[in-house]
C-alpha cells in the first residue's frame, strides 16, 4: 500500500480493530463454550469447569443423538418447514410488494391495502383466535400450520416495497415503452435488480422459521410433529427440579446431561452457520451502476 498512515490514523485503526475484536469475541466465546461442552464429559460440564476447550474429549453425545429417532424426526420437520416457507413466503412477499410500491395514481386503492398490512402488523391476533383459525382450517398437526399462518411477513413487504421504490422509475417507463407488461417488468427488471433485498429477506425467512418454537408447541398434535426448535426448547429451558414423584426422577437424569443438550444446540446452529456464507455475496451494492443516467 502506498498510503502512509499518520499517527492518528494508526490510533484510530487500533481503536476500531480492538472494538471489532471485542465484538467478535463476545459472540464467539459462547459459541465455543457450547461447542466445547458438547464434546466434554458431562460431569465436568455440570461442574461449570468447561470454558472454550473440551475437557475429557468424546464423541459420545453425537453418536447418542444420531441414534435418537426423535431428534431426527424433528430435523426433518424443520427442514421441510424452512423449504416450504422460503418458497411460499418469497412469492407472496414479492407479489404483494410490487403493486404496493406503485404510486396511488397508478394503484388507486393502495392506501387501503397499505393500512391492512400495517394494521395487522400493529394488532396481531391473540393466541386463542389464532388457534381456532388454524384448527378450523384443518391445519392442526400438519406442516401447513407452521408455514401458512406466518407466510406474509408485513415487515418484509415494507422492506421490499421500499427497495422497489428506490429503483429508478425511468427503468420501468422505458420497459413499458418497449411493450413489457407488468408481469414482465416485475420478473425481468425488478426481481433481478433486487437480489440484495431478496437475499436479506430470504435470510430472515429461513432464520425466523428455523428458530420458531412456540407455534410448533401449539399446533402440533403429537410430539412427532415437533420441529427441531420446539424439541430443543423442551430440553434446554430450565427443567423443573422440584420433582414430586420418584418415577420422574430418572427422566431428570436424562435432561440434566448438559453435554447432550449442548450437542443438540450445536446441531440446530449448523444450518444457519452454513447458509450464511453463501448469502454473503448478495449483500453487495453497485448492482444498478450505469443502468440509468440522470
Residues at the contact surface with another protein, assessed by CB under 8 A: 41-44, 46-49, 70, 127-128, 131-132, 135, 141, 217-218, 220-223, 226, 230-231, 233-235, 237-246, 249-256
Q: In angstroms, what is the minimal distance from the CB of 84 to another protein?
A: 22
Q: In angstroms, what is the minimal distance from the CB of 135 to another protein?
A: 6
What residue has cell string 407472496? 92
Which is closer to another protein, CB of 62 or CB of 239?
239
Query: For residues 216 and 231, what is the distance between their CA atoms, to the nearest angstrom?
Result: 9
Which is closer to another protein, CB of 154 or CB of 233?
233
Which is closer to another protein, CB of 13 or CB of 211?
211
Q: How far is CA 46 from CA 50, 147, 256, in A?
A: 9, 37, 8
Q: In angstroms, what is the minimal distance from the CB of 75 to another protein?
A: 14
Q: In angstroms, what is the minimal distance from the CB of 62 to another protein?
A: 16
Q: In angstroms, what is the minimal distance from the CB of 198 to another protein?
A: 36
Which is closer to another protein, CB of 114 or CB of 130?
130
**Burial (CB count within 10 angstroms: exposed 0-12, middle 13-18, buried 19+), residue 261:** buried
What residue has cell string 410490487? 98
**Burial (CB count within 10 angstroms: exposed 0-12, middle 13-18, buried 19+), residue 139:** middle
Decide: 78 and 97 in contact? Cβ < 8 Å. Answer: no
Query: For residues 153 and 130, what is the distance between their CA atoms, to the nearest angstrom?
Result: 16
Q: Is the dihedral of CA 250, 255, 256, 258 positive or negative?
A: positive
Which is closer to another protein, CB of 101 or CB of 220?
220
Q: In angstroms, what is the minimal distance from the CB of 47 to another protein?
A: 4
Q: Which region, left, alpha or beta, applies to residue 129 given φ > 0 means left and ψ of -120 to 50 means alpha?
A: alpha
Q: In angstroms, what is the minimal distance from the CB of 225 to another protein?
A: 9
Which is closer to another protein, CB of 237 or CB of 289?
237
What residue has cell string 426422577? 249
Extract the C-alpha cell encoding 99: 403493486
Extract the C-alpha cell encoding 59: 464423541
Which is closer to another protein, CB of 197 or CB of 228?
228
Amino acid at each position: 500500500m502506498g498510503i502512509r498512515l499518520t499517527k492518528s490514523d494508526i490510533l484510530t485503526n487500533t481503536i476500531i480493530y480492538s472494538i471489532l475484536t471485542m465484538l467478535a469475541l463476545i459472540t464467539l466465546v459462547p459459541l465455543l463454550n457450547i461447542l466445547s461442552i458438547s464434546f466434554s464429559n458431562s460431569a465436568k460440564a455440570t461442574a461449570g469447569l468447561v470454558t472454550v476447550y473440551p475437557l475429557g474429549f468424546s464423541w459420545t453425545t453425537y453418536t447418542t443423538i444420531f441414534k435418537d429417532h426423535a431428534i431426527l424426526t424433528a430435523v426433518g420437520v424443520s427442514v421441510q418447514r424452512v423449504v416450504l416457507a422460503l418458497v411460499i413466503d418469497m412469492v407472496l412477499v414479492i407479489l404483494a410488494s410490487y403493486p404496493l410500491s406503485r404510486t396511488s395514481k397508478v394503484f388507486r386503492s393502495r392506501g387501503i391495502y397499505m393500512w391492512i398490512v400495517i394494521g395487522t402488523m400493529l394488532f396481531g391476533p391473540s393466541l386463542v383466535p389464532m388457534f381456532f383459525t388454524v384448527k378450523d382450517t384443518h391445519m392442526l398437526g400438519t406442516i401447513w400450520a407452521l408455514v401458512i399462518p406466518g407466510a406474509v411477513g408485513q415487515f418484509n413487504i415494507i422492506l421490499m416495497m421500499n427497495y422497489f421504490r428506490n429503483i429508478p422509475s425511468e427503468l420501468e417507463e422505458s420497459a413499458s415503452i418497449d411493450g413489457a407488461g407488468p408481469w414482465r417488468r416485475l420478473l425481468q427488471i425488478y426481481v433481478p435488480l433486487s437480489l440484495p433485498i431478496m437475499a436479506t429477506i430470504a435470510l430472515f425467512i429461513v432464520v425466523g422459521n428455523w428458530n420458531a418454537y412456540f407455534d410448533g408447541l401449539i399446533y402440533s398434535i403429537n410430539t412427532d410433529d415437533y420441529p427441531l426448535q420446539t424439541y430443543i426448547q423442551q430440553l434446554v429451558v430450565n427443567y423443573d427440579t422440584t420433582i414430586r414423584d420418584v418415577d420422574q426422577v430418572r427422566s431428570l437424569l436424562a435432561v440434566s446431561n448438559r453435554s447432550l443438550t449442548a450437542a443438540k444446540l450445536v446441531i440446530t446452529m449448523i444450518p444457519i452457520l452454513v447458509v450464511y456464507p453463501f448469502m454473503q455475496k448478495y449483500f453487495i451494492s453497485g448492482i444498478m451502476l450505469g443502468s440509468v443516467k440522470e
